[in-house]
Structure 1
């Protein structure tokens, strides 16, 4: 009497294992597919050592990236280095600051990154521009970006608020 019941329980157990295995296989294949899609995206190399590897080759091209963090955590430094490394690769950049002056940013970066020795040279050659708009108005900021993109072939832009 017990034999048919035990056999039935065994078959249900085997069937459950088979279903779990199939589901795991589907999830794994889906994740691989998503990863391949992410890896196939065009990316902009940041030029920052180690970061591009963590980001699967860089920041997705033609995407907006927002950095969040408290004061002093390195947002401005990251953005400045991103533009600096772009200038090294021949990509002009514009840094729009809504709080600090251009001189303050250059001085802070000189102290933070003493190895970025070409900062002044890149600024003189307009490979790296730092602009502080007179007013915090979206129309003015959009106008500055449009002007720099068309007149100076800007490929990288940062708006630091």
Structure 2
């Protein structure tokens, strides 16, 4: 069965990657994980509302991951949803002096790893997750997202 990635744009698409880019990044991060993925690109208000409702933090964030858990005994081929805040991603790319496309790729990879069960609640988990993100970014031709750019 093909693995589908659905992209929803809740903001104007200017400066935001096309669905083909999102699909490529999702597919790179799957590494055997199956199921469809929905990516919703949102503004700061929607991101803040979701971050507040699900994480108790009343501010917009770059990416939120919602792993799917279907009802017991009912097979559903859905891995989960990612909600990515376009203004936050753009601001973070600018502030870090990084290419915007690479920042988008990183947020998709990061979110996908959460859908696959990775986390960064402690130093050991964070190191493992960051190492995998860095390797995936390199496979896609992007620089290490955790190094500081050199002038």
TM-score by length of 1: 0.26
Kindly name which structure, 1 or 2, has the bigger radius of gyration based on alpha carbons: 1
- Give the structure with the larger helix fraction: 1
TM-score by length of 2: 0.27
